[in-house]
Copies of this chain bind each other. A is one copy, B any other.
Amino acid sequence: MVTIADVARHAGVSPSTVSYVLSGKRAISARTRERVEASIRALGYHPHAGARALASSRANVIALVVPLRTDMHVPIVLQIAMAIVTAARGHDHDVLLLTNDEGTEGLHRVARSALVDAVIVMDVELHDPRAPVLRELGLPSVLLGFPADAAGLTCVDLDFAAAAGRCVDHLADLGHTAVALVGPPAGVLDRGTGFARRTLAGFERAAARRGVRAVVRPCDPAHEAVQATVKELLTEHPEVTGLVVHNEPAVPPLLEALRAQGVAVPGDMSVVAMGPEELAAQVSPRLTAVPIPAEEMGRRAVELLMAKLDGAGEVPDATLIPPRLVPGGSSAAPRR
């Protein structure tokens, strides 16, 4: 193994000088710096992470707690995780992957053992047991999602209320006067995942604002359940000509069900989805959608975390990412 002492010897300086070249914490003359950098390259030196962590009490690693549940839309989870890793690398940090099956113990463990010096928690629920742990741990942390009591916690999420509002506005602008929200299964609401509630609120508020009739349906993504929901909706609310779907996996069966019922999209029914772009692009016609900004969420989370780590003043408690509606072929003016 190449150590800092080897580099120092090779460059004819002391180990501390090499350290200062690396960290930039003290002024080093250009000549010396170049010599040291050349030696580093020549020897292929990489600082020993453990030694560095021990001496500096900074591991340069952040923990990422991913959900174990499978009813979240999975590709998004991975996209966000990737975005976080990429962003973290941009700040010279690595990412340690933690699952929830260790429970909050895992958080305690990595924090107390100084394995990581900050935490990002994904898929936060309204009454998330990890929230109090984060507070008590005293580690810098960022949550993706909002718990019921977000006091003292830094949270990032898509502005779901605004996103639902955006969808309603889009449909209202096209001339629709009655719209329905097809949401996640009832379980998600019960479990209290914040975004479902916020979507609902935003949907209803926007509908009221625009004077549009609003119907709401939770929906299990299973084929039969979707079919039943669609049939129900069509018979009970024939006035509905626009659908806002906030339920990832239900989209393909929903489109199929509409087709099976002889309902043309967008001719008879406009469909707007809140969810991943890939899906929107995969179906025909291409969906009008408000994509989940995975990359931005990950990046913002890391940036906030780094700001906290650097102790650079205050960071905002809540970061709501504004929605972006991408028009597709699935929405149009209603037939009259």
Tell me the A residues contacting B by CB distance below 8 Å. Answer: 1-2, 44, 46-54, 59, 61, 64, 66, 68, 70, 74-75, 77-78, 81-82, 85-86, 89, 94-99, 101-102, 106, 108-110, 112-115, 221-224, 249, 252-253, 256, 278, 282-284
By DSSP majority rule, is chain A's interface helix, strand, loop, or mixed? helix
Identify 15 new A-B residue pairs, CB closer than 8 A, beyond the known A50-B50, A74-B78, A94-B96.
A44-B112, A46-B109, A48-B54, A50-B114, A61-B96, A70-B278, A74-B75, A75-B75, A85-B97, A85-B98, A95-B97, A96-B96, A222-B282, A223-B282, A256-B256
Least Cβ distance of A204 to chain B in Å? 29
Q: Indicate if the CB atoms of A48 and B256 lie closer than 8 Å.
A: no
- Asked if residues B110 and A94 are in contact (CB atoms below 8 Å), the reply is yes
**Assembly CA distance A110 to B94 (angstroms):** 9
Which residue of chain B lies nearest to A252 when distances are taken between CB atoms in the complex?
B252
The answer to whether A89 and B74 have CB atoms under 8 Å apart is: no
Give chain B residues whose Cβ lies under 8 Å from the Cβ of A54: 48, 50-51, 54
Q: Do residues B97 and A64 form an inter-chain contact, with CB atoms below 8 A?
A: yes
4 cross-chain pairs, A with B, having the tightest CB-CB distances, nearest first: A50-B53, A46-B112, A223-B284, A50-B54
* Number of copies of this kind of chain in the complex: 2
What would 29 A/B residue contacts be, using CB atoms closer than 8 Å? A44-B112, A46-B108, A46-B109, A46-B113, A49-B50, A49-B53, A49-B115, A50-B50, A50-B51, A50-B53, A50-B54, A50-B59, A50-B114, A64-B97, A66-B82, A68-B82, A70-B278, A74-B78, A82-B99, A85-B97, A86-B101, A94-B98, A94-B110, A96-B97, A222-B282, A223-B284, A224-B284, A249-B282, A253-B282
Q: CB-CB < 8 A to A101: which residues of B?
A: 86
Q: How far is the CB of A266 from chain B (nearest CB, A)?
A: 16
Q: Provided the pairs A96-B94, A282-B249 are in contact, do residues A48 and B113 lie with their beta carbons within 8 angstroms?
A: yes
In the bound assembly, the distance between CA atoms of A278 and B74 in angstroms comes to 12
- Given the complex, which residues of B lie within 8 Å of A113, measured CB to CB? 46-49
In the complex, which residues of chain B have a beta carbon less than 8 angstroms from the beta carbon of A1?
114
Q: Whose C-beta in chain B lies nearest to the C-beta of A64?
A: B97
Query: In the complex, what's the smallest C-beta–C-beta distance from A106 to chain B, in angstroms?
Result: 8
Chain B residue at minimal CB-CB distance from A55: B50
* CB nearest neighbor in B for A84: B97
Expressed in whole angstroms, the minimum distance between the Cβ of A286 and any Cβ of chain B is 9
How far, in angstroms, from A278 to B249 measured CA to CA in the complex?
A: 11
Q: How far is the CB of A238 from chain B (nearest CB, A)?
A: 25
B-side contacts of A109, CB under 8 Å: 46
Known contacts A94-B96, A97-B96: A223-B283 contact under CB 8 Å: yes
CA–CA, A155 to B47, complex, Å? 30
Q: Which residue of B lies closest to A45 (CB)?
A: B112
Query: Which of B74, B89, B253, B283 is close to A102, meaning CB atoms less than 8 Å apart?
Result: B89
Are B49 and A114 in touch, CB under 8 angstroms?
Answer: yes
B99 and A85 form a contact (CB under 8 A): yes
